[in-house]
Structure 1
Amino acid sequence: MATEIITKEDLNEFRELLLNDFKAILQGKPIAENTKWLKSYQVKNMLKISPGTLQNLRVNGTINYTKIGGILYYKYEDIQRLLEGNHKRK
């Protein structure tokens, strides 16, 4: 099992995101529209996929990402586009 160190900056970023989410809820806005960048765990939860599937989507170019300091970030709009592109009609 890999160990991940959480820094003060990570906690401050989490606090800011959490406060923004609460503000969005109170204003009646969907949380996801307020979030421009998503981390891997958020994308996996959104798409209900495994880490391996997410990796395959990155490798084959289905999902674009940005890597900063070992953390992968995904644009919310790209994930929405992926979902809409795979929408099937009856």
Structure 2
Amino acid sequence: MNVELITKADLQELESRLLTEIKKLVPMDGQGVSKKWLKSNEVRKLLKISPGTLQNLRINGTLSFTRIGSLIYYKQDDINKLLEGGAK
């Protein structure tokens, strides 16, 4: 039986690497960079829809999404396609 101990330093390094990868996926606001990912409230405002309608779009597969923890993110490109009438 091979046992490896995980130290606090190991966990901190993992946390740092995970945060770096997440930041690549979700750019911070105010940097003049077009956001690739939008949160649910931003999508609802953009599409002028209710939370229930957004949930229905997720459930029926009209709008793909990514969940990170308790937050749901949507690709800007997918939103643009939906607005143009060419949903997934």
* Category of TM-score, reference length = shorter chain: 0.5 to 0.7
Structure 1 residue 85 displacement after superposition: 1.4
**Given the alignment, which residue of 15, 25, 28 partners 1:17?**
28
- Secondary structure of the residue aligned to 1:58 is helix
The aligned residue for residue 77 of structure 2 is 77
- The size of the alignment, in residue pairs, is 62
TM-score, length-scaled by structure 1:
0.62
Percentage of identical aligned residues? 53
Letter of the 1:65 counterpart = F
Equivalence map 1:8-87=2 (5 Å): 17-20=28-31, 24=32, 34-85=34-85
- Secondary structure of the residue aligned to 2:74 is strand
The aligned residue for residue 27 of structure 1 is none
Q: Which has the higher helix share?
A: 1
Letter of the 2:79 counterpart = I
**Gaps spanning 5+ residues in structure 2: where?**
1-18
Structure 1 residue 84 displacement after superposition: 0.4
List structure 1 segments (4+ residues) > 6 angstroms apart after TM superposition. none
**Structure ID, larger Rg:** 2
Instruction: State the alpha-carbon separation in 1 of the partners of residues 29 and 78 from structure 2.
Output: 22
